C-alpha cells in the first residue's frame, strides 16, 4: 500500500496496546524506542484499549515491569469508557450485573455502581467484558436479567484478541452468546464507537486532524480512528495485515510491520 502519511504533521497519538505494544506477555520489537521517541518529541498520547480485563493500575505495573514509567492519565480502557457512559445514562448507586474481570468491576465500583452476583435482584444493566473465568451460570444469570428488561451493555465487541498462542475468544464472543440467547443486541462502548476516541481527544486537548491512531485491527482501531477524524496507521504485528485491507476495504493512511518500523520512519521524516 502506498504511504502518503506525513508523520511530521502528527502532534498527538492514540494507540492500541494488545497486538501493537505487546503480544500476550511479551513486548513487541520497538517497545522502548516507541516511548523514548514520544517523550523526546513531547508528543502527548493516550493508550486506548478495548481490553476490559485489566485496570489502569495493572497496566501501569506491566509497564513498570518492562522498564517504562506510565501515568494513569495515559491509560484509557473500554471499562473506563463504559463507566463514563453509564454515569450519563443511569443514576449513581444503581445495581449492575457484571460479566468481566477486575478491570471492569473496579471501573463500575469507582463510578459509584453496585455489583450484584445473581439474578434474584433486579438490575439497571448487565455489563459484559472479557471474562477468563466464564461459566454457564454467569451466562444464565445475565440472560435472565436481560430478558427481564435490564440494559445490555458491552465494553467492546472484539470477537478475538491476540496471544502468544494465537487468537482466543474476546468479549465479543461472550456478547454473541448472550445475543443468541436473548435475541437482543447490546450497546457496545469500545472501539470503533466514538466514545473512546472522544474521551481520548478531550483528555489530550488536541486537534483530531493532527492526531494519529495506531492499531492492529481494521474494524476497531482503524475504522474508529477514521470515523473520529484521526490519521490512521495499521501495524501488522497483531490481528490484521495487507490482505485484510484488501478483503475489508478499510484503508489506513499507512501500514507498518510494527511500532519499530513506525518509529524508524517517524524519526527519519524529520531529517
Q: Residue range 41-54: average pLDDT?
A: 93
Q: Residue 117 corresponds to which cell in the numbers above? A: 452476583
Q: Residue range 103-112: average pLDDT?
A: 95
Domains of the chain: 7-50+191-269 (3.40.50.1000), 79-188 (3.40.50.1000)
Q: Residue range 37-41: average pLDDT?
A: 96
Residues 6+ positions from 240 with CB-CB distance below 8 Å: 216, 217, 218, 222, 234, 248
Q: Residue 247: is its pLDDT beyond 90?
A: yes
CA quadruple 139, 145, 146, 152: dihedral sign: negative
Q: Residue 64: is its pLDDT beyond 90?
A: yes
Query: What is the pLDDT at residue 118?
Result: 83
Asked, as a colleague might, if the bond just before 251 is cis with ω within 30 of 0, I would say no
**pTM of the predicted model as reported, rounded to 2 decimal places:** 0.87
Amino acid at each position: 500500500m502506498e504511504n502518503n502519511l506525513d508523520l511530521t504533521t502528527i502532534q498527538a497519538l492514540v494507540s492500541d496496546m494488545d497486538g501493537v505494544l505487546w503480544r500476550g506477555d511479551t513486548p513487541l520489537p520497538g517497545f522502548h524506542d516507541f516511548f523514548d521517541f514520544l517523550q523526546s518529541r513531547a508528543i502527548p498520547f493516550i493508550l486506548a484499549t478495548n481490553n476490559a480485563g485489566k485496570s489502569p493500575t495493572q497496566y501501569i505495573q506491566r509497564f513498570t515491569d518492562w522498564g517504562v514509567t506510565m501515568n494513569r492519565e495515559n491509560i484509557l480502557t473500554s471499562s473506563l469508557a463504559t463507566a463514563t457512559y453509564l454515569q450519563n445514562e443511569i443514576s449513581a448507586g444503581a445495581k449492575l450485573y457484571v460479566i468481566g474481570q477486575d478491570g471492569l468491576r473496579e471501573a463500575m465500583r469507582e463510578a459509584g455502581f453496585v455489583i450484584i452476583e445473581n439474578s434474584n435482584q433486579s438490575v439497571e444493566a448487565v455489563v459484559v467484558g472479557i471474562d477468563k473465568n466464564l461459566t454457564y451460570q454467569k451466562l444464565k444469570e445475565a440472560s435472565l436479567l436481560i430478558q427481564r428488561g435490564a440494559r445490555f451493555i458491552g465494553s467492546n465487541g472484539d470477537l478475538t484478541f491476540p496471544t502468544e498462542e494465537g487468537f482466543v475468544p474476546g468479549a465479543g464472543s461472550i456478547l454473541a452468546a448472550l445475543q443468541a440467547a436473548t435475541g437482543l443486541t447490546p450497546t457496545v462502548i469500545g472501539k470503533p464507537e466514538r466514545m473512546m476516541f472522544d474521551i481520548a481527544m478531550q483528555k489530550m486537548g488536541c486537534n483530531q486532524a493532527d492526531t494519529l491512531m495506531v492499531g492492529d485491527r481494521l474494524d476497531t482501531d482503524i475504522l474508529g480512528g477514521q470515523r473520529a477524524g484521526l490519521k490512521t496507521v495499521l501495524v501488522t504485528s497483531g490481528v490484521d495485515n495487507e490482505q485484510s485491507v484488501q478483503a475489508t476495504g478499510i484503508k489506513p493512511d499507512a501500514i507498518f510491520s510494527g511500532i519499530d518500523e513506525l518509529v524508524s520512519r517517524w524519526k527519519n521524516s524529520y531529517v
